[in-house]
Amino acid sequence: MHAMLKIEVKTYEDLDKWLADNYDFEDGHVLAIKESPLEITVGYNVFGDYKANSERHIRSFKLTPSKILHWTYNEELFDPSDYHYIENIEAVKSEKGICLKFVPMGYFELRADSLLIEEQELIITTFKPYTIEKEIHLIARMEAVPKPGYWIQRLKEIGHHVSFRYYGGEERLQEQVPYPDYQGYFIQLTDRLDITTEGIFIQHLRTENGILILNFENKDKELNVVWEALTLILSELPDAKMKSGNCEFSGPEWRQYLIDRKLPTA
């Protein structure tokens, strides 16, 4: 086991090097923020495959500033945890002191005379399960890509009248949609074509050795009901295996998830 790091950083160069040595905490975490006195715990994954409920190891550090010159954290805009990922942590050149920029959605900065960095014990935990409500990946047993009319008819049976379109475009009739390669098209409610530019995006769609592989993404927040209906249709395809976020579902498991919204447990 490597020795636990404990250093005091006073220059931009040393701060920048420490961040680089730790991959700039890309896709890392601000794990905790304690005020009075200020202590910030940050970390990043060093082991794990991100699958729901699988083991993960987080290397973490406690940052304790000396005299604080500037601190812009707003607890209403960012919640520290190992669940929320950040883009990175940057060293920022400053005329006085050293400066750290934390880059989640709505960044915040710390500027201080110096910074005490103390490595903490390795955190051994699990990846929390989550889904992404607007994205779905599926594989199923099918020899050919479903024709565009398949989606139109199945959604019509559930009560949704949809059409195909290109980005910002008008309705494309079934016979105008190229088959089997209609990747890049959108499915949209026919009565929303004139007031929108997108819809449910067909990001990826192909067959390979009798296996259908597809990725759909909902790019219209007003289509949530249509989106749920479409994922229900996907779950009924032969031997469907569906992925959303870091969770995997069989067809029946996905249909149950739509009822109770319970995520898979280990």
103 in a domain, yes or no?
yes
Q: How many domains does the chain have?
A: 2
Q: Of 87, 107, 126, which residue constitutes the final position of a domain?
A: 126
Domain check: are 246 and 144 in the same one? yes
156 in a domain, yes or no?
yes
Q: Are 39 and 63 in contact (CB under 8 A)?
A: yes
Residue 25 is classified by DSSP as G
pLDDT in tens, 141-179: 999 999 999 999 999 999 999 999 999 999 999 999 999
Question: Residue 52: CB partners within 8 Å, gap ≥ 6?
Answer: 127, 128, 129, 130, 245, 246, 247, 248, 263, 264
pLDDT in tens, 71-108: 999 999 999 999 889 999 999 999 999 999 999 978 99
Domain check: are 163 and 247 in the same one? yes
For residue 1, what pLDDT band results from cuts at 50, 70 and 90?
Answer: low
CA 156 to chain centre: 31
Which candidate, 95, 87, 127, places its Cα nearest to that of 111?
Answer: 95
In the predicted model, is pLDDT for residue 60 greater than 80? yes
- Per-residue pLDDT, averaged over 175-195, amounts to 97
End-to-end CA distance of the chain: 29
Bond before 180 cis per omega within 30 degrees: yes
Quote the domain boundaries for residue 74. Answer: 6-126
Q: Cα–Cα distance between 34 and 110 in angstroms, integer?
A: 14
Residue 2's pLDDT is: 65
Domain check: are 214 and 236 in the same one? yes
Report the chain's mean pLDDT, rounded to a whole number: 96
Domain check: are 113 and 184 in the same one? no
101 in a domain, yes or no?
yes
Tokens of 126: 């699990």
Q: Of 74, 92, 126, which residue constitutes the final position of a domain?
A: 126
For residue 229, what pLDDT band results from cuts at 50, 70 and 90?
Answer: very high
pLDDT in tens, 14-25: 999 999 999 999
174 in a domain, yes or no?
yes
78 in a domain, yes or no?
yes
What is the dihedral sign for C-alpha 107, 113, 119, 123?
negative
